[in-house]
Structure formats: C-alpha cells, structure tokens
Amino acid sequence: MCFGENNATHAAYLFNAQLGAHWDIASQCLKRHGSPFKPDERYQRSFSLAQFRFGSHRDGSQASIEDMMFSASFRKPSLEFLCNHDAVLRLFIEEGHYNLNIARASDQSVADKASNRALKQVEIALRVPFSFKAIRGQDSKIGNGLHTYSVLELGLLDAVLIDTKPTIPDARPALTFYLSQYLQLLHNSGQTVLLSLPDIARDGFRTEIDFSIAASSSVAASSGNVFGIAVDDINEYLTSRWCKVSMLNIYSLGFPDANVGSIVEYRNIWTGKKSDVYFHLNFGAPRVSPLCDKEAVLYLSLDEVSFYPNQDFIGVSRTYNDWELAIIMSLVEIRGEGGKVTGAKFTFKGSRFVSGISRFPGFDSTNKDAVRHRDRVIEFISTEYLGILESVQYNIIYEQNTEVLTSEPDSEDDLQDDVGGDKGVDLTPWKIAADKGEMFGFDQIVTVSHSVINAHFQTLWAGNVFDNTSDASISRWTYQEFFEATFKPITVHFLSNGRAVILIRINEGTLKLFKNQQPWSQSEKYKFSTVQVAFEVDVKMSTHSAMPGVTSRWTTRFESSNAFKDHGKNTNVTFNHIYLNLQDAQFVRELSRFDSLFTSPDKYTIKKVQAILTYLQSYYFPQLVGSGYHVLSTIPVWKSGPTLPPFALTSVTFRIHSKTEVTRMTYTNTKSSSQPVIVILGMAGGRPFPEVPVLPEWIVRPTKTTYHGSINISGRAFLDRLLQQFSQVNATTTIVPIFDGIDDEGWKLELVTWDQHPTKRRRAPKFVPVKGKGDEKWLRYRWQERDVWTHEHEGGGSLSAGAFGVSCITKNFLEIPLTCDSVSDTLDIKVSGEIEFGVSFQGTSQKWSSKSFARWDATFSLQSSIEGLHVEILGAPVPEIAKAVVEGTVPANSEGVIPEKLFRNFLLSNTADFKGVLDVLKIFESSWSSCYPGLSTFTLSQPVFTRKGDLLFTLQPFLAVQQIVSLATPASAGVPRSPVVDPRSRMKKRQTL
C-alpha cells in the first residue's frame, strides 16, 4: 500500500489474487473429487469456479457429457473495475457446450444433443455491481487504534452479460439463462466475497481506493446508457444546449447573464473573487462517458484558453487550444409524474478531477508560470465553475422536454404535406359553413394557405435551378468570395400570432468567417452542408408604390406577372402586396439545424454559425427583397367609380387565422388542413369596412385534396345579381293573356310574356324565398303570376250570349343547393316553371272549357375540374306542352282561343332568356382576378352556397402551374425544364347556351 495515493490498482491486484486462489483451490478439489458427469451435490459449490454443469444425463452406458443442458470448464477468472460501483467479471471457458432449448431446461432435464452448441476458448464478460461491507475495530496492538477491514461483495445476482469473445450469434438468450443459474451457485458458494486492503489509521493517513479515477478512458466509455437513457442521446442533448446557448450571443455584445453563458465562455473575474491569474475560457460542447448509473466522466472541452496579465483582459500573455478536462461526477436520476425516469443530472458533491484522461496540448510542464496558470484553471473548474453550472441547472445532462418538437420541421415533409394533403376529409366545417356561414358585412373573404405559398416557392425554385441569370438567388447565391450556397425551396408556415416561420435550407456551401463584424478575406474557406435556418418574421401588407427594399429586379418580375398583365395598364387600379418582412427577421434556434457543423464541433463551429446567419440576414435577405421574392400575394384594388367590374375590391385588409392556436413550437404537429392561413377581407363599391370580427372555424374549407385557399363572396355581391338575372328568366317565361274584345269572327285573345306586356314589364318579376321541407339542403325561391277574369257578352251577332272566362297561372321555382356533390364536385342550380292556361264559356245554349299545361326545367351545372369551373345548361328549357283537356264542344269560331294551340304558336317564337344568368355564372369560368397568391393565376372549384346566400369556392392553380411545381421535387433535378407559359392560354373556350 502507498499511503497518500490512490491504491485502486493495489486493491484490484489483491482481489484478483484472492479470486485466483479460490480458483486454484476449486481446481484442486475438482481433480480429487470430480466425476465424468454432474458432480455430487456436496461438491458443486466447491467446484463452481472451475466447473459448472446443469441438467441431467441418461442412465447406464448411454450416459454422456452431451446429455447435460450446459457444461463448462473454466480457467482462472478476473476482475476489472470500471468505477466505484461496477466491475467486469471475466469468465474463461476452456471447453463445454450449451443447449438452445431453454424452454425445457431444468437441472433434471436431459439435452437433445441436436440442439447442443459447443463452447471452446470463449471469454464471457459480465458487468457486475459491487459494494463494500466495513468491519471496524479498535485495538492498540494494530496501528494507533482505529482500523477498518472492508469486504468486497460482488452482486452476482444482478450481473448483466456484456459480450462474448469470439461473438456467438444468437447465443445471448441461452447463455443469459445458464449463466444466471451458474451465478446463483457461485453466489451461494461465497467464493466471491473478497477481503480488501486494510485501512489502519497511522499518523493521519488513510487507505484511499478510488476505482473511478483509476479507470481508463476506454473502459469508461463501456457503459452505453444511464438510467436507461442512451449515452448518444445525452451527448446530443448537451451539444444541442451548448449550441443554443452559443447562439444567444451571436448578435449581442455579451450574454444577459454571465452564468447563462458559462457553458460557452467564462472569465474568472466574473465570479467576483480576487485572483492573481486572469483567464478567459472558451468552451466547446461538453460530453459524457458514463461509468455506471451512479458515476460518469464529464469531459469539458476548452477550445481556447487565454491568460492575461491583468483584469482589464488586454494583451494576451499565453494562449492554449484544445484542452480537455475530465471530471468524475455522481449521477442522480430525474423522475416525473408516476415516478417515470425523465432525465439525469450531476451532483457535484464528491466530484474529482482526473488528470490521467485530461489533455493539455501545448502545455510546458517545466515552465513554472505555465504550471501555475494551468493549475489555477483546474482549481477553478473543479470548484467554483461546477457551482456556477449548478446554479443555472446546467448540471442537468438530459431531460425530456414537453416543449420540444415531436417531429422535425423538415422541408421534405412540408412538400409531401402540400402535395398530398390530409388523408380523408372532415366535412363537418363544410356543413357548418353552409348552415351558419357569415360574411360579417364584408363583400369578399379570401383565404390563402401555406400550401399555396410553398408551392409558389417551389415554382420559383424550379424556374431558377437551370437559370443562369444573375437573379437565381432562390436556388443558388454567391456573395463575392465570401459565401456561396445552393438552396432547397423556401418553406413558410403561418402562426396564430400573425407572424410566419420561414425555413431557409441550404444543400451545400462554402463560407469565410467574419472579423471585426466584416467578412474576412484572409479567412480559410470552410465547407458546410445540410443546414436549415429558421426565422420568425412579420407578415405585412403595403401598396405597390410603398414597398420597402425592392429594386428594379422586382419591377421586371412584377410586370411579367398575370396580375400586372390583367390590371397593370388600368389607371383606376392600384396593387396591394402581402409580404414577409425579412428586414426584421428573428432567428429561431429551436427550429434550426446545423447538423453537419455540430456533428464534430470545433473551435470555429459557432463562428461558422454566426457567419451563416449574418450572410443570410445582412446580405441574402436584401437580395430576396430586392427581387420581390418575399411577396406572398397581390390584390388589385380599384378606385371607386360608377362602373366597376364584378367583384372588384375597393379596399382590403388581412389577418392570419387558424382554428386553434399554432405556435412555432407546435406547427409541425398540426395537420395541413388546420394550419393557419392568410385571410384577405375585402369591400366593393367603395363601402366602408365593418368591424373586423373573430373569424369562425369554417373560414377554412375542407377539401378532398390539397387545400390552397378559398373565396367567400357575399350574397350582396353575387346572389343578388344572380337573382336579378333570374328575374329576367321569369320575365320571359311568365305568360300574360290580353283580351282584345269580340267581333263577328269570335273571341280575340292574345298571349304575351311579362317583358312584352306594356305595363307589367315596368316591374321586375322577382323570385321570393320560400320555406319548406328540405331547407337544410336548399335555398328555395318561387315566383307566381295569376290572371283569372271573366268577360260577359250579350247582344246580336253570331256569338252566343254568355260568360267567357280566362285563367292563366305561371309558377316558377328556383332551387340552389347548400352542398356540392362530394363525388363529382358539381353544383346544380335548378330552375323550372309550369303554366296552366284555360278558357271556358257558359251561355244559354252552350257550355265548354279547354285547359292545357306547359312545363319546362333547366339546370345550371357548375362543374369543377383541374382546368377550373365549367358552366353548362342541362335539362329541357323548351317547354313541354300537354294535350288540351276539353269539356263540351268548342264551336268553330272559338278554336282560336284553345290553350294548346295558343301555347304552341306562342312558344315557337318566345323562349326563355338564360343569357343573363349564364353571363353571371360564366364569370367564374375565367381565372380569378381579385387575388393573385404568389403572383400566380388561380381558378375556382367546389362551389357551395351558405344558408345566407353567400357563395364559397376553393382556389386551385391552373394545371400548367401544377406541372411547373412538380419540377421542384428532388427527383426532377437534372431534368430539362419545360418552357413556362401563361397557364391561361391553355384554358378551353366553351360555347354554351
């Protein structure tokens, strides 16, 4: 023993010597009392270190050692101590076998030899916990009084199989079973209870034994987890926290609290204690190598250690790089609700610096000042610094965080989400929209989803991939000699707070570092790849003339857009743009990924991150803004005037809306159909804005495919116009009889339509809403005109005296569905009419009557397709005339007033006028021109009316635009790009009635 030193190696030698002695005794006993088969029960424990057999054997001459379920002859075992709690017990099997059929294995079982597997020259390593039991005594004959003898007890019953050499495939279950039987026997034998070095008080010296310090770094790394937490997860947690704290200082002059930044940098004067050594420590990411569940080695990486002559920290006197200090720490588990282990932390009580596995490159041990400086750093870290870490809870080395993202905010997932949409469609909001839809006084409510915006950036990226012009910055960008990168498409996610998260994803690039806040031309050029940088930005709206930061590049892009082509030359139109305010972007470290930089962090890692962020915010974002790539949507705004196009907006505002609260920490867990959307609120005709309400859930429509957005048009803006045109249908289908009197030739009766009548045409024959069964599915309207009168005649001439009667009743019906056919995406507006026309005569000598009916119906079918909306007329708009029902005999001079004949003659030249209705509906066949998400043109589909008469559509891009977007998928890289054409040129021109 060496008093005053760590006697761990001496203790290990003593324990192995005792274990070897026990093995020697067991081997000698085996030679004297062994048998060819299973030993006598009274000798099993005596032999256990040298031999173990499990199972039974056949009787008589058939008996064989292969009958045993397990058999092993052992060489001398050894102990290797990992720490103060665990050791490795190594068993060496000279020869033997084991049986795979452990399901039927018992100490009385006879093995099926076919399932036996040989064991020859196999080393088995078992991780075994241990403890010491102290036997204290006091005797003046021993030392100076107090003395302690410690007994080592191996916890064999809690041993865990580590591995075998050589590796035996598929053997672990069987070996684990048989070894558990063996260790039980070995435990009962008492041969693993070993006496430790004596601890005798002599002149104040005690016997120190610390296996943890004595353990080598290779052994220290042998434990793969702590409290069931993988060591890789622990080190990833430590690296992530170090990265996040490092980034706190990226754009500030210092950390808000020196202790908060202590895992990144520290100056010893920040403790407030006086010192004759002044140093500045820059830390790299720490790491942990567990020794067991009770202890671990904490490695503190010192990327740079600078010493200064005074506390002003001016003029470095000595600098070192890449030091690493190893400190043994005690571990404590963190438990959450229900007692479940949720993390682990260090307790610094009993921590020890380990010089043997610490590194001090560049250190000169012959220089007294250097030694003094190094020792002061070691002292500081081993004492004060550990307390600082604990004060800000940096002693927590792993903790499950309910705030962290449960899925990575990765672009590829975003693209799949946007292309594929949600599986299945919840139609409940659709039904609510039809039943309780409310426009709150607005003329239009337009929603634009993040899917549309991301598809827009996909399109821009696809168009830039093969573009060799100077403005291909969406896909690749170079800033002089200092920075170069290729990008994936930008992705955007809106948040409930009215802001948005944007993800800038870099495939690969190179950079030079900054010096004195400027790009440093003398810097080495560093490569990096697979970087994702997240920012949170405001979403704002501006008029075209007031757009901040744009350049002539934006003017060129905008003037080639469909928005400008449709309205740019109209002096009565201005443009409002909704855009991402990149000028004030806030870096979001939680959503950023610098995996390629932090996988193997070095002393320049944070400087590289700082450089990437600075290049993006200070140089790249102005480039994007200058080209207008930050514009999300464009809305034409008209000046008020007497003649405005249908649905022209004269004022607009917007907000971000979501069904539930979505934050930057929860958006990745929110399904696509529930993501926040841009909601554009518009007024027409110069009407003022109503108070902006809290928007309801149904503002976001469910769809069967990707949700791009929706258009909600108020009944005031559309249905009133539609009903006005249906009044013209009434005017051309309502029949009015005109009596022209009597002459010698007979009765004179003429039929005219409402719009032909000299007085009635001054009044519009309006449809009137009606209530009835099925109101949950339809908006129903009715128009009726009834003319019934009698003319009495008495006098000379050929006509008999009597009463001539006329009855003419027109009934028209209009049905507007409150649902869109979920299979065909078709909305059918049905209009129909029936006319009952009858004449009669009753006189002294004759009595007769004649009645006929005419019926017609038409359906205005709004059919959705990938090309947009198509309107056509279905049904039988030409009336079907029923054969007259005649009672009595109609005289020859009255045949001219027979209803059936009048109907046929009249209806040959008078047909229903559907032109006005078609003109109103066919507006929706064209591209929608009141909003241009991403400067793109969209069509309408899936129309549905609400109970209040508002009309809802979903937005969909033209097929040509969709084809361009498909080019943006990674699989398309390298495929020649198709020419980008105006998608509206592909729209079919349909001729309908």
Residue 635 and residue 499: Cα distance in Å, rounded?
20
Name the 3-class secondary structure at 356: strand
Please tell me what DSSP assigns to residue 687: P
Mean pLDDT score across all residues of the chain: 83
**CA-CA-CA-CA torsion sign (611, 616, 620, 621):** negative
Cα–Cα dist 738/751, whole Å: 6
**What CA–CA distance (Å, rounded) separates 512 from 484?**
10
Among candidate residues 676, 628, 807, 661, the one with its CA nearest the CA of residue 735: 807
What pLDDT is attached to residue 144? Answer: 58
Burial status of residue 870 (CB atoms within 10 A of its CB: 0-12, 13-18, 19 or more): middle
Q: Mind listing the pLDDT tens digit for each residue in 64-123? A: 889 999 999 999 999 999 888 899 999 999 999 999 999 888 888 898 999 999 999 999
Q: Which of 673, 716, 719 is nearest to 698 (CA)?
A: 673
pLDDT of amino acid 763: 92
Asked if residues 860 and 921 have their Cβ atoms less than 8 Å apart, the reply is yes
Helix (H) or strand (E) holding 454: helix 450-465
Q: Is 40 exposed, middle or buried (0-12, 13-18, 19+ CB in 10 A)?
A: exposed
pLDDT exceeds 90 at position 958: no
The predicted structure's pLDDT at residue 558: 94
> How large is the average pLDDT for residues 320-347?
90
Which of the four pLDDT bands, split at 50, 70 and 90, describes residue 494? very high
Element (H, E) at 436: helix 428-436
> Rg of the Cα trace of the chain?
45
Over the range 342-361, which residues count as b (16 or more CB within 10 Å of their CB) and which as e?
Answer: bbbbbebeebbebeebbebe
Residue 856's nearest CA partner among 834, 837, 872, 824 is 834
**Is the dihedral angle over the CA atoms 600, 606, 607, 611 positive or is it negative?**
positive
Do 319 and 413 meet the contact criterion of CB atoms below 8 Å apart? Answer: no
User: Whole-angstrom Cα distance, residue 167 to residue 179?
Assistant: 16
Separation of alpha carbons 147 and 142, rounded Å: 7
pLDDT tens profile 553-605: 999 999 999 999 999 999 999 999 999 999 999 988 788 888 788 766 677 88
| Whether residue 973 has pLDDT greater than 70 | no
Question: Looking at residues 512-537, what average pLDDT do you find?
Answer: 92
Neighbour tally for 905: CB within 10 Å: 12
User: 267-294, pLDDT tens digit by residue?
Assistant: 887 666 667 889 999 998 899 988 888 8
98 and 178 in contact (C-beta within 8 Å)?
A: yes
Query: What whole-number distance in Å separates Cα of residue 531 and Cα of residue 472?
Result: 19
Q: What is the pLDDT of residue 161?
A: 93
DSSP annotation string for 82-121: -SSSEEEEEEEEEEEEEES-GGG--TT----GGGEEEEEE
- Specify the pLDDT at position 466: 61
Q: Residue 798 pLDDT more than 50?
A: yes
Give the H or E element holding residue 723.
helix 719-733
**Any residues with CB less than 8 A from the CB of 287 and at least 6 apart, and which?**
235, 238, 239, 298, 299, 301
Residue at token pair 């196009």: 645
DSSP summary character for residue 985: G
d(CA 292, CA 431): 60
Residue predicted with more confidence, 265 or 405: 265
Can you tell me the distance from the alpha carbon of 584 to that of 535, in angstroms, rounded to the nearest whole number? Answer: 10
Query: What does the domain layout of the chain look like in residue ranges?
Result: 8-212, 225-399, 411-684, 719-923
- Say which range, 456-460, 798-802, 830-834, has the weakest mean pLDDT: 798-802
Please say whether the dihedral angle defined by the alpha carbons of residues 920, 925, 929 and 930, taken in this order, is positive or negative.
Answer: positive
Per-residue pLDDT at 193: 85
Q: Are 928 and 868 in contact (CB under 8 A)?
A: no
Q: Please give the span between the terminal C-alpha atoms of the chain, in angstroms, as a whole number.
A: 110
Average of per-residue pLDDT across 682-699: 77
Mean pLDDT of 640-644: 78
Going by pLDDT thresholds of 50, 70 and 90, the confidence category of residue 727 is very high
Report the range out of 115-119, 656-660, 846-850, 871-875 with the highest average pLDDT: 115-119
Residue from 292, 298, 283, 329 nearest 235 by CA: 298
State the pLDDT at residue 972: 35
CA dist., res. 695 & res. 440, Å (int): 9
Using DSSP bridges, classify how beta strands 78-81 and 709-713 pair: parallel, antiparallel or unpaired. Answer: unpaired
Counting residues of the chain whose pLDDT is more than 90, the rounded percentage is: 43
Confidence label for 139 from pLDDT (cuts 50, 70 and 90): low
* pLDDT tens, position by position, 876-932: 677 888 888 888 877 766 666 778 888 887 876 677 889 999 999 999 998 888 899
Instruction: Give per-residue pLDDT as tens, 358-399.
Output: 999 999 999 999 999 999 999 999 989 999 999 999 999 999
Please name the residue that has the structure tokens 């007692």: 339
